[in-house]
């Protein structure tokens, strides 16, 4: 059965200083002795959660994507995290999924954090991203998306699309089977609401019978808001495999697909789920 090795990097960020943050994260990755396959950085890892995209956003062919491609190729890893991107006169909080061969997947944050004015500065995305790696299907999201369970919910079809005369959608999977195996959330989630962060990550694991990884930042940002980290890895039953509070940390773990399949076979709850489809079909990479 397939295994997947994940490295999470919980770090403080240099406020609005992309070059320093890129150099810092590369140094942290170079210090890891264990084998790495998938490395996860926080939301807005080059800048912190600033509402100044006019100053900070890059084009897709800008220095951060170039850096991610170079690091992914050099270290033979998949590298992911979100950055601010300008495209067509709009700004996006965009998760980049960069393979060692240079292929790039992208996901634009769907739920913009109006409480901080993110919806006034950025445009929302409308398509989910489900990546495939070594037989694993990985659903990717950003921070505030975590509060909205429909966006994260496994779409488990109860019948083949031919029964309704519909053409199978992108990412279609057989009836009763899970859409994804691992959910990853990258974040700048403040300490003052960390109970919600911890609770929602556990809920997403339990209700979707999937591994869940949440990677947050630590430290105080440029607005004086403190982040306690609380980066977590949970198994499909919602049990903690990892939790780190208040400190910078790099953690590597190997997840086993066999364990996930065994839980789903012993507790076939997804087969009883309500069938539904999010009309903006998923993007697969």
* 262 is known as an active-site residue: no
Report CA 72 to chain centroid distance, whole Å. 17
- State the DSSP H helix or E strand holding residue 205, giving kind and residue range, or none if neither: helix 194-208
Catalytic entry in 109, 118, 191, 198? 109
Question: Mind listing the pLDDT tens digit for each residue in 67-125?
Answer: 999 999 999 999 999 999 999 999 999 999 999 999 999 999 999 999 999 999 999 99
Q: How far, in Å, CA of 154 to CA of 227, rounded?
A: 29
Question: Mind listing the pLDDT tens digit for each residue in 216-239?
Answer: 999 999 999 999 999 999 999 999
pLDDT at 158 over 80: no
Query: 140 in helix, strand or coil?
Result: strand
* 191 is known as an active-site residue: no
pLDDT at 209 over 60: yes
Q: Residue 62 has what pLDDT?
A: 98
Look-up: residue for tokens 């990258």?
186
Catalytic entry in 43, 58, 179, 191? 43
Do 125 and 110 contact (CB within 8 A), yes or no? yes
Question: Mind listing the pLDDT tens digit for each residue in 25-82?
Answer: 999 999 999 999 999 999 999 999 999 999 999 999 999 999 999 999 999 999 999 9
pLDDT at 167 over 90: no
Q: Residue 236 has what pLDDT?
A: 97
Q: Residue 120 has what pLDDT?
A: 98
> Any idea of the CA torsion for 266, 135, 126, 155, to the nearest 10 degrees?
-20
Q: Which residues contact 136 (CB under 8 A, 6 or more apart)?
A: 2, 4, 181, 182, 257
Look-up: residue for tokens 């959910």?
183
Architecture of the 3-125+186-267 domain:
4-Layer Sandwich (3.60)
Q: Residue 252 has what pLDDT?
A: 98
* 143 is known as an active-site residue: yes
- Residue of higher predicted confidence among 168 and 27: 27
- Where are the chain's structural domains? 3-125+186-267
User: If DSSP states are collapsed to H, E and C, what string results for 47-113?
Assistant: CCCCCCHHHHCECCCCHHHHHHHHHHHHHCCEEEEEEEEEECCEEEEEEEEECCCCCEEEEECCCCC
pLDDT at 281 over 60: no
pLDDT at 244 over 60: yes
Residue 284 binned pLDDT confidence (cut-offs 50, 70, 90):
low
Catalytic entry in 143, 179, 191, 244? 143
């Amino acid at each position: 059965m397939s295994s997947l090795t994940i490295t999470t990097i919980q770090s403080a960020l240099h406020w609005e200083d992309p070059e320093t943050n890129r150099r810092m994260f590369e140094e942290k990755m170079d210090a890891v002795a264990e084998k790495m396959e998938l490395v996860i950085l926080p939301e807005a890892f080059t800048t912190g959660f600033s509402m100044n995209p006019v100053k900070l956003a890059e084009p897709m062919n800008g220095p951060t994507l170039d850096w991610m491609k170079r690091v992914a190729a050099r270290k033979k890893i998949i590298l992911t995290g979100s950055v601010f991107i300008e495209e067509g006169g709009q700004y996006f909080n965009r998760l980049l999924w960069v393979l060692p061969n240079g292929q790039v997947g992208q996901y634009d944050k769907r739920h913009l954090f109006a409480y901080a004015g993110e919806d006034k500065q950025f445009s929302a995305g409308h398509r989910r991203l489900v990546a495939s790696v070594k037989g694993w299907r990985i659903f990717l999201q950003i921070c505030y998306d975590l509060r909205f369970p429909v966006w994260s919910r496994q779409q488990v079809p109860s019948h083949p699309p031919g029964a309704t005369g519909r053409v199978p959608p992108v990412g279609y999977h057989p009836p009763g089977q899970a859409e994804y195996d691992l959910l990853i959330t990258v974040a700048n989630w403040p300490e003052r609401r960390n109970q919600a962060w911890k609770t929602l990550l556990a809920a997403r694991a339990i209700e979707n019978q999937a591994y869940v990884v949440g990677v947050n930042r630590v430290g105080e940002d440029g607005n004086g808001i403190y982040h306690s980290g609380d980066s977590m890895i949970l198994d499909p039953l919602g049990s903690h495999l990892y939790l780190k509070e208040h400190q910078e940390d790099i953690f590597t773990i190997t997840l086993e697909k066999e364990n996930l399949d065994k839980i789903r076979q012993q507790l076939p709850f997804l087969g009883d789920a309500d069938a539904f489809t999010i009309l903006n079909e998923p993007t697969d990479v």
